[in-house]
């Protein structure tokens, strides 16, 4: 066997030369944090994380704190960006600095890289500014080769440990660095275990691991046509390149897209002395959180394995032990570990996600970072840490995202529904790892590509895998829930699921998953059940349970969310933007109040007309060919509308209620033209089969009725009904509709006011584009108000305003403000009329392509278009308040519940946002964050 002489290779010169100014310090030792801080001094710790990456910065900080960290160094993110910019060649001086850092490591450890007698081994890990768990590449045990393996055996007397470590390097190198498929490597291990008759990796002996290592080398040669490199420096060079290249790997790019991490940050490379957790029963490795990342409890939470290396824990290929058991297995180590965790949390002022290795009874900390957590845990931790004075209330408000509030309020399974499913024999898994809470219902799929494809087709999917890998992330993002048969609470599946708020059940080892056959088998009460791809599953990530079929979900109990209510109370102290709700029925208004709404920003009266007992009366009114007949129908609707408004006024108890008069075109309340034609054709066919005179007369009467409706539908037909006879135009041409609605509003207000409840009705005219429309309808409203007040012998204060939904209204806002006392921006229609597109058609036909191709940065119906629609809104605010100082304004479209749009509303000085009752808590937090970010 040839002895490998470890000499640093010369890196070939760039084909595209880097400019001279890029020749700078590319490498920092863990003990050189002060130098990095000096380099980025104006940007503080954020600048350090940008330069060294989050992992490298924290390793250096732990070193400075005196925490036991294996020595190492960081190749900066600047080096990565230079490498990616200049034809994937190392920038000038980088490799030489990396070699100098290796020599410092040799001096510090007393070992020599590539030395056959006392070899130094290092790991090569990624580390971007923002944590991206498992999304980029890692290679362990670099420096092992045929020669150093023999030297390590002679040094340790433990050939099993050495060949276990060597095969890990070859396996990782083949899959990560050289791009060989990883499945054949796992198949080799399974074949050897099957031949030996064992189930666990730890049961294989030294000779079997040596055989596996040789077979792994053969796989690399077979798949890539080159041999595994024996030169340690060549291993290090290729591993460094692989980590740099992984920044733009598919899984990393997908993850950044899903989490809005910029693509220009680059990743650092962390080279660290390897400590071995697979050296026997006094060694081990684990991952832990300083608080419970699932529910936020103040307790150590995590997993570990005896006689293993770190990838075994996070990969989920072995079911792990809970961290609490380490107290019994290694009490001294556990005490030291617990103390370090507390120190790190106090120092970083946040829950930490730590990796550790125990090498022959010595504890080493390999990483710390702010831990990913569920929505529930994020909220509880923020509130608890504020109460503990570890952070301030304002920091607590910044710690929780509006999206996490939304996740917490996602639907759940009730105990009654689950009990019924259990009684029917549909519970497939009773108790697995409750990796990420929440209820998810979807169709089973067995690979990430199918999950993504089905999700794009509008299907809800549950991704089922033995364990997930970083390459599965695009499917995990698309899935409604995740189910694995292997892995623990800190496995890849669990960490990513918590990051995205996706319900997940892991380590369900009762499941026999066959990915090739697209099914899994599970035994329940002595019955074998098969679940095939496409079958429906329901998973409870909070309870760790899996059910067959589609379980019904329920609204969560907001009143029981004590920590959330505390956090939102703090938000209310900070925000200046009001949060109102869109509520069409009394029950919506009651829910809005419970969730903290301060008013109703939009009550859509047409929704009340679609009620089953009211729709015939609305249709009677539409079919009426004279004003007198319309009034008869409207008089029947009046008490129903009045009752609805009374319920809303009572629910809001003195808070303002903006009621929009009838907006949609009348044809929406009638059957469609296509439906009527089909029904008439069917009736005429049936007529041929009737024999009695009564049957024929009844059928003919129905035919005449449908022909009348069809005639009316044809008369109401418009080429573009959304820009036709609707909104204020309908109110002007059929004023009796407006008169009935105004009467219902004001009579309801007086009735509730007489009950001792304050009322603040605001009447809103939809779709106005000209001041004369507002002036005409204002006279009508004032006339009806005078009649109502005279009849009742009482008055009530009300406001008169309009929705801003068309560009002309925005451009002439100073004129509109002469008649209107308030403006409410209907941003859905304003976006349609500004872009000149129909939302339904655009989202179905081309908006997805536009955003994917970068023609539009995002869907303008999801996030407010600041450059176009936003500019119109800002102009309206300035013009309106120039004519009516202090004029009250808000938005009531779907953007009212979007955090980014809420931030814009705060910046331009709106008074409130109005959104769905379910999004009121989200808006309260977003409004507070907008106030803090713009203070």
915 in catalytic set: no
Structure tokens that stand for 690 in this block:
């009737």
Neighbour tally for 658: CB within 10 Å:
26
3-class secondary-structure state, position 286? strand
Nearest 5°: the CA angle 316, 321, 322 is 110
From CA 665, how far away is CA 409, in angstroms rounded? 35
From CA 579, how far away is CA 573, in angstroms rounded? 13
Q: How is the beta sheet containing 301-306 ordered, strand by strand? A: 321-322, 301-306, 284-289, 352-359, 362-370
Q: Provide the CA 104 distance to its chain's centre, in angstroms.
A: 43
DSSP 491: S
527 in catalytic set: no
- Residue pair 333/361 in contact (Cβ under 8 Å)? The answer is yes
Structure tokens that stand for 474 in this block:
């695009």
**Closest-CA residue to 647 (of 598, 583, 597):** 583
Long-range contacts of 34-43 (CB under 8 A, 24+ apart): 36/60
Structure tokens that stand for 260 in this block:
């809005």
From CA 218, how far away is CA 227, in angstroms rounded? 8
Burial class of residue 197 in the structure, from the number of CB atoms within 10 Å of its CB (0-12 exposed, 13-18 middle, 19+ buried): exposed
- Residue pair 595/923 in contact (Cβ under 8 Å)? The answer is no
Structure tokens that stand for 235 in this block:
């291993």
Query: Of residues 492, 667, 760, 906, which has the active-site annotation?
Result: 492
Q: How far is CA 409 from CA 72, 501, 538, 556, 917, in A?
A: 44, 11, 18, 6, 12
Structure tokens that stand for 826 in this block:
């209907």
How many residues would you count in the chain? Answer: 935
Burial class of residue 565 in the structure, from the number of CB atoms within 10 Å of its CB (0-12 exposed, 13-18 middle, 19+ buried): middle
Task: List, as one string, the DSSP characters of 524-544.
Answer: ETTEEEEEETT-EEEEETTTT
DSSP 869: I
**Closest-CA residue to 364 (of 303, 268, 299, 276):** 276
DSSP 769: -
Structure tokens that stand for 245 in this block:
């290249």
Burial class of residue 165 in the structure, from the number of CB atoms within 10 Å of its CB (0-12 exposed, 13-18 middle, 19+ buried): buried
From CA 591, how far away is CA 503, in angstroms rounded? 25
3-class secondary-structure state, position 355? strand
Helices (H) and strands (E) in the chain, counts: 38, 33
**Closest-CA residue to 413 (of 437, 377, 434, 435):** 437
Burial class of residue 28 in the structure, from the number of CB atoms within 10 Å of its CB (0-12 exposed, 13-18 middle, 19+ buried): buried
Neighbour tally for 882: CB within 10 Å:
12
Helix axis angle, 77-85 to 232-246, nearest 10°: 80
Query: Of residues 892, 895, 906, 915, which has the active-site annotation?
Result: 892
Beta strands in 783-873 (DSSP E): 799-804, 822-825
- Residue pair 296/320 in contact (Cβ under 8 Å)? The answer is no
Catalytic residue positions, numbered: 492, 892
């Amino acid at each position: 066997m040839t002895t490998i002489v470890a000499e640093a290779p010369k890196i070939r010169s760039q084909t595209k030369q880097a400019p001279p100014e890029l020749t700078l310090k590319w490498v920092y030792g863990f003990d050189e944090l002060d130098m990095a801080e000096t380099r980025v001094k104006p940007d503080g710790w954020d600048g350090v994380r940008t330069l060294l990456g989050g992992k490298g910065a924290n390793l250096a900080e732990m070193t400075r704190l005196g925490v036991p960290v294996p020595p190492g160094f960081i190749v900066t993110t600047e080096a990565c960006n230079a490498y990616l910019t200049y034809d994937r060649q190392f920038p000038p001086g980088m490799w030489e600095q990396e070699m100098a850092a290796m020599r410092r490591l040799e001096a510090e450890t007393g070992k020599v890289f590539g030395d056959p007698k006392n070899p130094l081994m290092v790991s090569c890990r990624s580390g971007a500014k923002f944590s991206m768990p498992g999304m980029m590449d890692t290679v362990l045990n670099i420096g092992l080769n045929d020669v150093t393996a023999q030297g390590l055996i002679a040094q340790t007397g433990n050939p099993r440990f050495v060949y276990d470590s060597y095969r890990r390097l070859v396996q990782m190198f083949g899959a990560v660095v050289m791009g060989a498929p990883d499945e054949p490597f796992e198949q080799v291990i399974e074949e050897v275990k099957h031949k030996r008759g064992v189930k666990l990796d730890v049961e294989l002996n030294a000779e079997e691991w040596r055989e596996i290592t040789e077979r792994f080398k053969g796989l690399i040669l077979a798949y890539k046509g080159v041999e595994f490199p024996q030169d340690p420096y060549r291993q290090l060079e290729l591993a460094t390149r692989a980590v740099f290249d992984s920044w733009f790997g598919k899984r990393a790019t997908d993850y950044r897209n899903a989490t809005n991490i910029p693509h220009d940050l680059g990743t650092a490379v962390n080279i660290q002395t390897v400590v071995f957790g697979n050296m026997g029963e006094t060694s081990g490795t684990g991952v832990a959180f300083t608080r419970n990342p699932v529910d936020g409890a103040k307790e150590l939470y995590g997993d570990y394995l005896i006689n293993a290396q770190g990838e075994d824990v996070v990969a989920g290929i072995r079911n792990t032990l809970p961290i609490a058991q380490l107290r019994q297995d290694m009490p001294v180590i556990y005490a030291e570990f617990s103390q370090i965790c507390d120190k790190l949390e106090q120092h970083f002022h946040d829950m930490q996600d730590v990796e550790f290795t125990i090498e022959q009874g010595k504890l080493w900390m390999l990483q710390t970072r702010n831990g990913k957590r569920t929505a529930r845990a994020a909220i509880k931790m923020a509130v608890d840490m504020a109460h503990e004075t570890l952070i301030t209330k304002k920091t607590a408000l910044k710690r929780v995202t509006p999206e996490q509030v939304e996740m917490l309020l996602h639907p759940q399974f009730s105990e009654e529904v689950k009990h019924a499913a259990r009684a029917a024999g549909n519970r497939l898994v009773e108790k697995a790892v409750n990796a990420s809470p929440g209820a998810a219902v979807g169709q089973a799929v067995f690979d990430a590509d199918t999950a993504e494809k089905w999700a794009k087709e509008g299907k809800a999917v549950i991704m089922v895998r033995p364990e997930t890998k970083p390459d599965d992330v695009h499917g995990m993002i698309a899935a409604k829930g995740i189910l694995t048969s292997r892995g623990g609470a800190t496995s890849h599946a669990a960490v990513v699921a918590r990051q995205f708020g996706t319900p997940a059940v892991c380590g369900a080892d009762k499941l026999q998953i066959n990915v090739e056959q697209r099914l899994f088998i599970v035994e329940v009460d002595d019955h074998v059940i098969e679940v095939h791809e496409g079958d429906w599953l329901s998973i409870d990530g909070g309870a760790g349970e899996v059910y067959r079929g589609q379980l019904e979900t329920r609204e969560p109990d907001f009143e029981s969310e004590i920590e959330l209510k505390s956090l939102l109370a703090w938000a209310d102290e900070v925000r200046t933007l009001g949060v109102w709700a869109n509520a069409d029925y009394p029950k919506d208004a009651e829910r809005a109040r419970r969730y903290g709404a301060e008013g109703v920003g939009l009550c859509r009266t047409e929704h009340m007309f679609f009620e089953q007992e009211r729709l015939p009366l609305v249709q009677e009114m539409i079919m009426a060919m004279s004003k007198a007949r319309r009034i008869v129908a409207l008089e029947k609707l009046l008490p129903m509308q009045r009752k609805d408004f009374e319920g809303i006024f009572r629910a809001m108890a003195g808070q303002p209620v903006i009621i929009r008069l009838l907006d949609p075109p009348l044809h929406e309340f009638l059957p469609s033209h296509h439906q009527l034609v089909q029904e008439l054709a069917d009736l005429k066919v049936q007529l041929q089969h009737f024999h009695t005179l009564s049957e024929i007369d009844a059928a003919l009467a129905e035919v005449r009725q449908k022909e009348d409706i069809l005639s009316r539908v044809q008369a109401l037909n418009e080429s573009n009904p959304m820009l036709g006879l609707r909104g204020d135009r309908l109110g002007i041409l059929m004023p009796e509709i407006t008169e009935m609605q105004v009467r219902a509003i004001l009579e309801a207000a007086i009735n509730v006011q007489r009950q001792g409840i304050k009322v603040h009705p605001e009447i809103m005219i939809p779709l106005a584009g000209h001041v004369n429309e507002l002036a005409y309808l204002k006279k009508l409203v004032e006339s009806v108000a005078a009649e109502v007040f005279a009849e009742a012998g009482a008055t009530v204060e009300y406001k008169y305003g309009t929705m801003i939904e068309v560009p002309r209204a925005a451009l002439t806002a100073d004129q509109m403000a002469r008649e209107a006392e308030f403006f409410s921006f209907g941003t859905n229609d304003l976006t349609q009329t500004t872009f000149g597109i129909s939302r339904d058609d655009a989202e179905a036909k081309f908006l997805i392509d536009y955003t994917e191709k970068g023609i539009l940065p995002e869907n303008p119906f999801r996030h407010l278009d600041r450059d176009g629609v936003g500019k119109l809104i800002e102009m309206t605010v300035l013009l309106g308040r120039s004519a009516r100082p202090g004029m009250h304004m808000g938005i009531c479209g779907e953007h009212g519940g979007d955090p980014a749009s809420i931030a814009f509303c705060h910046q331009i000085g709106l008074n409130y946002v109005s959104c769905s009752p379910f999004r009121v808590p989200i808006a309260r937090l977003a409004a507070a964050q907008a106030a803090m970010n713009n203070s």
